[in-house]
Amino acid sequence: MSGPLDGILVADFSRVLAGPLCTMNLADLGATVVKVERPGSGDDTRSWGPPWSANGTTYFESVNRSKRSVALDLAVPDDLALARELARRADVVVENFKPGTLDRLGLGYDRLSEDNPGIVYCSVTGFGGGAGAGLLGYDFVVQAVGGLMSITGEPDGEPTKAGVALVDVLTGKDATIGVLAALADRARTGRGCRVEVNLLSSLLGSLVNQAQGYLETGRPPGRMGNRHPSIAPYETLRCRDGLLAVACGNDGQFARLAATLGEPGLAADDRFATNAARVAHREELVRALEGRLAHDDSATWQERLTAAGVPAGRVGTVAHGFALAERLGLDPTVAPADGGTPMPRHPVSYSTPLVGPAQAPPALGADDRAVRDWLSAPKPGPLPPAGSG
């Protein structure tokens, strides 16, 4: 089955997470992605374990399915020439080298666009290509300096990072959007363009209401644990056996919550009748709610509240998340067609099939011979299938 990006060749000069996530998204949609890696070691994440997998590490495998791998040493003239030829033939180049590095190697946008004016060239950096070009962009550091850690964690605890490299993930998704927009514009105008994304901008753009609140008031938000700065109750509440996440987005939901807990009068109490009042009297509200929730366990309350139309759920693990998606028929995983461990599937569903069968992430240099021969051919045909040497 061909996808919407069938026939699009992506030269992937990126590594770690944000760039590889972008190129994996493109591969899911049918693009041919050739991942250029360092001989001997490859992508940094090939050594980032545990957990380990049969082909290396689960970290590498999480963002590198359905790609071809070629090992090229850009310090070796012959290999650099092959890399330039790959970029010259490509529709899309994705890279996350330190700004200026690929320009010095003749692999920058200005040089490549001379020979290939339709190229879409996506650069992923930590802090942009200007004054921040010399700063090293690692997700954890950007979470710290960009403010995400300052609003994550308990009020009286230390600032805390998210439990996944969230800024890298957001940046990878922004890069995907940018590449797809540029390809759509190229289809309309025939022109390629340079797409630039950076971790700090992606983080700040993702702070949404917290960022806008700061820009409006001049007051940086702080840590509130599991509470929401503008909505109540929108937090974890303690039941007899553990925590229940409750999210009342409007007064009607709160009224149903109060009725289900056997305290319908709470919805008429002046302290709790409106969302603004509930936020102002949050501590009193929590005491009242937890006093009732303590009479039963979280699973029972989840069932009762869900039946009443109140958003609520027990705090679970990643295993619980996958199990729930399975029960709901969301098909959360995909098994590579050529074998291997199931992976989280492409998260978008389409009424018309747009995502082809997944292929297992490649071993380092798995496609060396085929890609090198193809790049050396004066009149190349189609690139051979993945895994052909």
In contact, 357 and 1? CB cutoff 8 Å: yes
In contact, 211 and 194? CB cutoff 8 Å: no
In contact, 332 and 322? CB cutoff 8 Å: yes
Residue 195: what are its φ and ψ, rounded to 5°? -115, 125
Omega of the bond prior to 155 within 30 degrees of 0, cis? no
For residue 201, give the 3-state DSSP assignment: helix
How long, in residues, is the chain? 389
Query: For residue 156, what are the CA distances in angstroms to 129, 160, 221, 224, 325?
Result: 37, 12, 14, 9, 34
Active site residue 78: no
Residue 4 burial by Cβ neighbours in a 10 Å radius (0-12, 13-18, 19+): middle
Catalytic residue among 168, 174, 251, 367: 168
Omega of the bond prior to 51 within 30 degrees of 0, cis? yes
Cα torsion 269, 271, 277, 281: sign: negative
Instruction: Please identify every residue annotated as catalytic.
Output: 168
